A and B are shown apart, each in its own frame.
Chain A
Amino acid sequence: MILHTVNKSVFSSQALHECLLAAARNDAVLLLEDGVYGSLKTAHPAEPHEVSWFVLKEDLQARGIDESQCRDEVTVIDYAGFVELTEQYLSVCSWF
């Protein structure tokens, strides 16, 4: 059980793509910083994925993205939620 974090936009970087190639079932992906663009309904990743999706609220707000613009399977969390995820998952792998 790994928590993957991605901080690059899916429109300008391969980070999310590479993350999903490596991620296993039961892993989670947290999108933060410019990575939050990967949570948009218009940015649906092509790869099949059975991971849990999370996006950081503060970074969504900083970019003027409303939660309604995010894909349904993505859960919006704050920094406290980020810490909770790191408690639940055994290790954290950062993609940048």
Chain B
Amino acid sequence: MKYSIAIYGGPYSHQATHSAWHFTRAVLKRGHTIERVFFYHDGVYNASALTAPPQDEQNLPLKWQQLAEDNDFELTVCIAAAVRRGILDENEAQRYSKPAANLEQGYQLSGLGQLVDAGLTSDRLISFGP
């Protein structure tokens, strides 16, 4: 079956990203496919390239990036939720005349329609709330 995941909780304040990570790995292990992981609300903080956790802690932004690359699924970040929290790609940084962009590689900013699309085209959409 095709699965999509929605993450609403930010890193270091809620368990959502960890739960979603373990669930996503279990989904893949059972032979299903992941179509898209959608980051919404404070979940967009997972996509910051400036995250610098201690070396003896998990770096979930990078682990998502690797897992998505290995298993060919999208890491989609809600653009409206992201730009108001200071998560910008090059385009948005230019649009708002900001000095830098900080969206982690492998993640893409896109509209909320992508979450609706995930709900329509995936067999299952699982949300991990804050």
Contacts and interface: CB of A to CB of B under 8 A. Distances in A.
A7 B124 contact: no
A14 B19 CA distance: 21
Interface string B111-130: 00000000000001111111
Interface in A63-96: 79-80, 82-84, 86-87, 91-92, 94-96
Contacts of A94: 126-129
Contact of B15 (A5, A33, A79, A83): A33
A79 B25 CA distance: 9
Contacts of B124: 86, 91-92
A58 interface: yes
Contacts of B23: 79, 82-83
Interface residues of A, number: 19
A32 interface: yes
A54 B69 CA distance: 32
A1 B81 CA distance: 32
B19 A32 contact: yes
B26 A83 contact: yes
B1 interface: yes
Contacts of B1: 87
Nearest to B31: A83
Contacts of B125: 92
Given A7-B15, A32-B19, A87-B1, A80 B128 contact: no
Given A7-B15, A7-B129, A94-B126, 7 more contacts: A34-B15, A83-B23, A83-B26, A83-B27, A87-B1, A94-B128, A94-B129
Interface of B: 1, 3, 8, 15-16, 19, 22-23, 25-27, 29-30, 32, 124-130
8 contacts: A7-B129, A33-B15, A33-B19, A79-B26, A82-B26, A86-B3, A86-B124, A92-B124
* 5 smallest beta-carbon distances between A and B, as pairs: A96-B129, A79-B26, A94-B127, A33-B15, A83-B26
